[in-house]
Amino acid sequence: MLYMIIENFRNGDPAPVYARFRAQGRLAPEGLRYVSSWVTEDIRRCYQVMQCDDRALLDAWIMAWSDLVDFEVHPVITSADAAARVEASG
């Protein structure tokens, strides 16, 4: 399953997030795969796509960062999959 993660850096401050990332890495458990990410120009918010078969892995990763980041999680599908579903539904 793919997940679109919207990360709002606590107090709009990216410095603690990037410091932890430099020191400890992504902190993703085995089985959770980083796909890609984009950060707003003001560096206050990150849009990130993650992939895993077990939502508990994503939740564990979120807990590792929840002191620095407020998260929104949205399960998503690719546009190709969406088009196929629309086509199949007639």
Each domain of the chain, given as residue ranges in start order, spans 2-88
For domain 2-88, the CATH architecture is: 2-Layer Sandwich (3.30)
The pLDDT value given to residue 1: 97
How confident is the prediction along the chain (90 residues), in pLDDT tens digits per residue?
999 999 999 999 999 999 999 999 999 999 999 999 999 999 999 999 999 999 999 999 999 999 999 999 999 999 999 999 999 998
Rounded Cα–Cα distance for residues 55 and 63 (Å) = 13
Cβ–Cβ < 8 Å for 73, 47: no
Give the pTM: 0.92
The pLDDT value given to residue 90: 82
